Amino acid sequence: MAQDLVDGLLIKARSHLPPPSEPLGKLSKRDRKGVAVIKLKNPPVNSLSLEVLTEFVISLEKLENDKTFRGVIVTSDCPGIFSAGLDLTEMCGKSQAHYAEFWRAVQELWLRLYLSNLVLIAAINGVSPAGGCLISLTCDYRVLADNPKYNIGLNETLLGVVAPSWFKDTLVNTVGHRTAERALQLGLLFPPAEALRVGMVDQVVPEDQVHSTALSVMAQWLAVPDHARQLTKSLMRKPTADRLVKQRDADIQYFLQFVSRDSIQKSLRMYLDKLRQKKG
């Protein structure tokens, strides 16, 4: 087992059998070959800082280029939290150059994940708002742990900000227009049973079965010849991705203008203060 610890992101790339302590579930040994596990590890809440976004992209690129790997399970190393979404401190009180670099990194990760040739399965073992939800939506299949605390959704409006068009597109492509419209306007965070009902996740399973279920699902997806599956994925997703590719710079400019507004800075600061005050 190759194991690589990068700042903020734990990557366990598994090209051989797992240690015996890990349950094999219903999978044969062969099924597990070629499957890597990317575990987000940026305590306390796996927020997606510029550093984490960058490391994530580099790790994906390495896996894409290493033909040993055909699939990746994306999961979290932080108990109870898949990811708290974009790091809000990266969007508050920083320079224009910083905002531009940060937003380009968000775009880059989305494009890499959304168009990945690898099979991506999200093993969602914690709460998953906004950017955390977006990461799971870029995967080919989502398995969510059945815990009433593990809400998932694009809650941007509740922060006083707007989910960009490509966040919206990703959700529409997953749950359909009407469900997405309602969820986005209301900033809904769905508990597991609701998330399953609206199609935001594909399966809800007991918490201790999330990883083994993700591996079983992976085996099913890897049974399909790569070239046919990859071309089909591209057919389904490329038109959505191309919309961003064609206007990446304009999207960054729009983000800069938006995030620099006094009213938006105020909303984000208030939201962060509210999170911080929760404790005491």
Site residues (vs ligand L4P3G6V5, CB under 6 A):
44-45, 47, 81, 84-89, 127, 129-131, 155-156, 159, 161-162, 164, 251, 254-255, 258-259, 272, 275-276, 278-279
Q: How far is the CB of 161 from ligand L4P3G6V5 (least distance, A)?
A: 4
Q: Please, which residue, 67 or 278, has the CB nearer to ligand L4P3G6V5? A: 278
What is the Cα–Cα distance from 50 to 101, expressed in whole angstroms?
Answer: 8
Minimum Å distance from CB 196 to ligand L4P3G6V5?
Answer: 20
Residue 86 CA to chain centroid, in angstroms?
10
Q: Which of 60, 156, 171, 222 is catalytic?
A: 156
Please identify which of the residues 46, 125, 151, 155 carries the catalytic annotation.
155
Task: Catalytic residue, from 71, 131, 132, 187: name it.
Answer: 131
Taking the least distance from each CB to ligand L4P3G6V5, the nearer of 159 and 215 is 159
Residue 115 or 244: which CB sits closer to ligand L4P3G6V5? 244
Q: Is 90 known to be catalytic?
A: no
Give the residue with the Cβ less far from ligand L4P3G6V5, 65 or 263. 263
Buried b (16+ CB within 10 A) or exposed e, 236-251: ebeebbeebeeeeeeb
Q: How far is the CB of 89 from ligand L4P3G6V5 (least distance, A)?
A: 5
**Cα–Cα distance between 46 and 276 in angstroms, integer?**
16
**b/e map 257-277, b = 16+ CB within 10 Å:** ebbeeeebeeebeebeeeeee
Residues, the chain, total?
280
Tokens of 91: 């969007």
Half-sphere exposure of 125 (CA within 13 A, CB side): 22
The set of catalytic residues is: 86, 131, 155-156
